[in-house]
Structure 1
């Protein structure tokens, strides 16, 4: 014998479930997909993991055979790193995109959360932009290992952040030789934003 259940007494399953699921991605490996429609500005998931020093992150990368696991490292404003591969969660599977639908924000307490930049439809893959900082030479093999496959119209082709260019010091002319008769205007440079991940 079965008993009918009134629909109004059932909890809203959509609210009880996470807004995301992990499955194979056409972009790269596993990806995170919207289980339901996600509103603009909605907090979706925390980027969880063990907080370690940058030095410890470098040691872990060497032990694991190189820079390829850096995609699980998330830099914090305090100089430390969250290692999503150590006590992490599904957020570590969110793929990079040059046209992301999410952004990662570090809260005042040092925790990282992923927020929707705009409305995300059910079954759409979640993505955010994380130019990876790789201090070694950007050899063809490294560039290939960190190739971007997001498919966006504005895709840069790489997940690597550009290396900062070293400026050559300007040689000042000797007094009287090639002197500029009009003094040059001073330019104001704003500080570069800190790397997010």
Structure 2
């Protein structure tokens, strides 16, 4: 039986992504903006948005229409604008302007799923959390770490086998791995540094 801890450590070292610390509200909003768009588009939209609205109170007073041109590059900007304004207003009304620091409370915010909540917990509050997106879900199954159908199931299974100190870094590393080598279609298995540990690779070669 292979050593899961060594495999996870290998992934984190081979595909490092530096942890960032920022205001939890900014992380929350930028993560909402990142849904179904590319990183560079998210970054542009975030910069424009927070150049105009510096904090949760200013955003809570805005209308969704005020945000359209600022976040247009992120795609689905009308829906995201509505969601962002609603989130800002709820944080002001329910939590006095402070982003909640528990998974349970974060999941009560509109448009916030487990992935977004876990990113906020790790980067915004320095709490151990595994954010499972399509990359983490796909790669974990290909490697044979888990055998799951849904990201929520992947998160629960990974928590059982991955040491807590790797929970946060795992997302960034698997995202980088998934974008460069373990692609959704036509993964670059022959040049992958993890192919000797990968069930998917061995199945392909049979």
Does TM-score exceed 0.5, indicating one fold? no
Give the structure with the larger helix fraction: 2
> TM range, normalised to the smaller chain?
under 0.3
TM-score w.r.t. length of structure 2: 0.23
Give the structure with the larger strand fraction: 1
